[in-house]
């Protein structure tokens, strides 16, 4: 591998590792904003940046789906803005 390729690979690896977010950090961020929330987070690719998140909270009562998702997006603003989370599949619901 030549020097330019090695430098490029090093930058890519650094980019990937610095932007990864743990599932526990995502859960904690959501629970900080929605203390009653039942939260599940699944890392879809193993890279920490493509997540499937399900949130159940009484805070969603009376809100349409868009407003429910906005509450979760707000809780994850730092992770989304930094692109630590690149893709987020989100399900929200009220407790049964």
CA distance 35 to 19: 26
In this prediction, residues 51-63 reach a mean pLDDT of 98
Exposure of 82 by Cβ count < 10 A (0-12 exposed, 13-18 middle, 19+ buried)? Answer: exposed
Q: Which domain holds residue 70?
A: 3-93
**Domain containing 9 — which CATH number?**
3.30.300.90
CA distance 61 to 66: 13
Q: How many domains does the chain have?
A: 1
Residues in the chain: 96
At 8 the pLDDT is 55
pLDDT tens per residue, range 5-54: 655 555 555 444 456 899 999 999 999 999 999 999 999 999 889 999 99
Helix (H) or strand (E) holding 1: none
């Amino acid at each position: 591998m030549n020097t330019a390729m090695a430098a490029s690979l090093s930058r890519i690896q650094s980019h990937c590792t610095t932007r990864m977010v743990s599932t526990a950090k995502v859960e904690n961020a959501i629970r900080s904003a929605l203390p009653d929330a039942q939260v599940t987070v699944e890392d879809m690719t193993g890279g920490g940046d493509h997540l499937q998140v399900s949130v159940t909270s009484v805070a969603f009562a009376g809100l349409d789906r868009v407003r429910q998702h906005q509450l979760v997006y707000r809780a994850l603003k730092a992770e989304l803005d930094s692109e630590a989370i690149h893709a987020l599949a989100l399900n929200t619901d009220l407790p049964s």
